[in-house]
Amino acid sequence: MRLLQRCTLAITIVAVAGCTDITGTPLDLNYVAGTYVLESVTGRYAPVVGSMVLTGDGQAQRRVRYSPPVADPAREYITLGRFSLPTANVIDFSLDEDCGEQICVWNIRASREGERFTIRYPDPADGPDIVEVYHRR
- Residue 14 φ/ψ, nearest 5 degrees: -65, -40
23-136 to CATH, choices 3.40.50.300, 3.40.50.2000, 2.40.128.20, 3.30.565.10: 2.40.128.20
pLDDT 10s digits, 46-86? 999 999 999 999 999 999 999 988 888 889 999 999 999 99
The helix or strand, by DSSP H or E, that contains position 73, with its residue range, turns out to be: none
pLDDT 10s digits, 4-40? 444 443 444 444 444 433 345 668 999 999 999 999 9
**Bridge partners of residue 109, in order along the sequence:** 92
- Up-side HSE of residue 60: CA atoms within 13 Å toward CB? 25
Among 112, 109, 111, 131, smallest CA distance to 120 is for 131
Among 84, 87, 126, 77, smallest CA distance to 108 is for 84
